[in-house]
């Protein structure tokens, strides 16, 4: 996506050099950020993954499909509605929006590499939801316009990174060529549908109804993504062996656990405390303790030490 923007901007440089300059910088920096985000940390991480027990690839694909549908189809339509307004915006306003996007790409890529890349999905949905709410106000004040651009560019930056992360993950699971074809084909399909609907006049001259529809679908997609979150399947980003001697296979949540319990299980097996798990998963310590009790009961163990002792290798 960043590469396509870069090529488009480069083609138009001879005609509109001052206006297209920021777009070239935007494309180059965003593209560099994406490559930095995708770069493997070690030779072991380049190996293809195979489906493991307790891992259902269909759930991962469903989460990806729901997110892409919400962002690049619904979001693409209302973004197309704003295309003329954005193209007519002053150069300084466009430049600020570009810089926000570039900064968001770099910051979110760094944040995702250190934490959970799956969190990029709710980040994007939340930012785009805020942008839609701002658009509904219809105010022409400068601060409102800047807030709209900030939410818009932050949301799409997170969406772009999440999309590339999803393809990278699927590429390791099924092979790079197959995952690239899946992502490219799905993107082209949604772009074509957006263009077709815009060409036939939908949604007409009712932008408020369009915003409300897009906002509703975005928020409807949030619980679906949290039901099958990518962070459950971020095992590829874990070390091959933890400090306690547990392997990646040991950290795979059992089938009997719910999605919420599985997130706690992964943290629990890495020796995280209640406070650390609460901070990592953005939940209360009371909720953590509730899930831990359920996990211990389902695993038929009395305490955490007994649970860990089942997997720690004897020296």
The per-residue pLDDT for range 185-231, each reduced to its tens digit, is: 555 555 555 556 555 665 555 555 555 555 555 555 555 554 444 44
Taking 60 as the threshold, does the pLDDT of residue 111 lie above it?
Answer: yes
User: In terms of Cα–Cα distance, which of 131, 165, 127 is closest to 148?
Assistant: 131
- Rounded Cα distance between 161 and 34, Å, is 7
Taking 80 as the threshold, does the pLDDT of residue 301 lie above it?
Answer: yes
Q: DSSP assignment of 73-131, as one string?
A: IIIHHHHHHTHHHHHTS-HHHHHHHHHHHHHHHHHHHHHHHHS-GGGHHHHHHHHHHHH
Domains of the chain: 57-228 (1.20.1250), 238-309 (1.10.10.10)
Taking 60 as the threshold, does the pLDDT of residue 48 lie above it?
Answer: no
pLDDT at position 300, please?
Answer: 86
pLDDT at position 229, please?
Answer: 43
pLDDT at position 273, please?
Answer: 84
Lowest pLDDT segment from 113-117, 195-199, 299-303: 195-199
Confidence of residue 181 (pLDDT cuts 50, 70, 90): low
pLDDT at position 123, please?
Answer: 78
- Rounded Cα distance between 226 and 222, Å, is 6
Which has the higher per-residue pLDDT, 98 or 255?
A: 255
Confidence of residue 143 (pLDDT cuts 50, 70, 90): confident
pLDDT at position 304, please?
Answer: 84
pLDDT at position 218, please?
Answer: 56
Q: DSSP assignment of 208-232, as one string?
A: HHHHHHHHHHHHHHHHHHHHS-GGG
pLDDT at position 26, please?
Answer: 53
> How many degrees, rounded to 5, is the angle at CA 9 between CA 4 and CA 11?
100
- Please state whether the predicted TM-score (pTM) of the whole model is above 0.95: no
Which has the higher per-residue pLDDT, 196 or 268?
A: 268
pLDDT at position 215, please?
Answer: 55
pLDDT at position 233, please?
Answer: 43
- Rounded Cα distance between 72 and 121, Å, is 13
Quick one: residue 201, left, alpha or beta (phi over 0 = left, psi -120 to 50 = alpha)? Answer: left
């Amino acid at each position: 996506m960043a590469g396509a923007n870069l090529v488009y901007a480069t083609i138009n440089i001879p005609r509109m050099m001052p206006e297209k300059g920021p777009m070239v910088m935007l494309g180059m920096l965003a593209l560099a950020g994406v490559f930095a985000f995708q770069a493997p940390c070690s030779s072991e991480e380049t190996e293809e993954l195979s489906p493991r027990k307790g891992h259902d690839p269909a759930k991962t694909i469903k989460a990806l499909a729901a997110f892409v549908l919400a962002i690049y189809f619904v979001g693409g339509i209302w973004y197309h509605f704003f295309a003329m307004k954005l193209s007519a915006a002053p150069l300084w306003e466009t430049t600020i929006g570009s810089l926000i996007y570039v900064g968001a790409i770099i910051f979110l890529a760094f944040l995702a590499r250190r934490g959970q890349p799956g969190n990029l999905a709710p980040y994007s949905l939340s930012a785009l939801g805020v942008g839609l709410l701002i658009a509904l106000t219809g105010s022409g004040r400068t601060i409102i316009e800047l807030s709209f651009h900030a939410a818009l560019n932050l949301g799409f930056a997170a969406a772009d990174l999440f999309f590339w992360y999803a393809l990278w993950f699927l590429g390791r699971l099924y092979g790079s060529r197959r995952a690239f074809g899946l992502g490219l084909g799905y993107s082209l399909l949604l772009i074509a549908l957006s263009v077709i609907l815009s060409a036939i006049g939908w949604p007409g001259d009712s932008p408020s109804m369009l915003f409300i529809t897009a906002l509703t679908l975005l928020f409807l997609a949030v619980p679906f993504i949290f039901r099958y979150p990518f962070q459950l399947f971020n095992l590829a980003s874990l070390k091959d062996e933890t400090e306690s001697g547990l392997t990646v296979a040991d950290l795979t949540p059992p089938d009997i656990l719910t999605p919420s319990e599985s997130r706690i299980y992964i943290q629990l097996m890495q020796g995280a405390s209640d406070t650390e798990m609460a901070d990592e998963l953005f939940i209360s310590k009371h909720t953590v303790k509730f899930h831990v009790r359920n996990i211990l009961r389902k695993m038929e163990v009395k305490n955490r030490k007994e649970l860990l002792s089942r997997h720690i290798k004897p020296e």
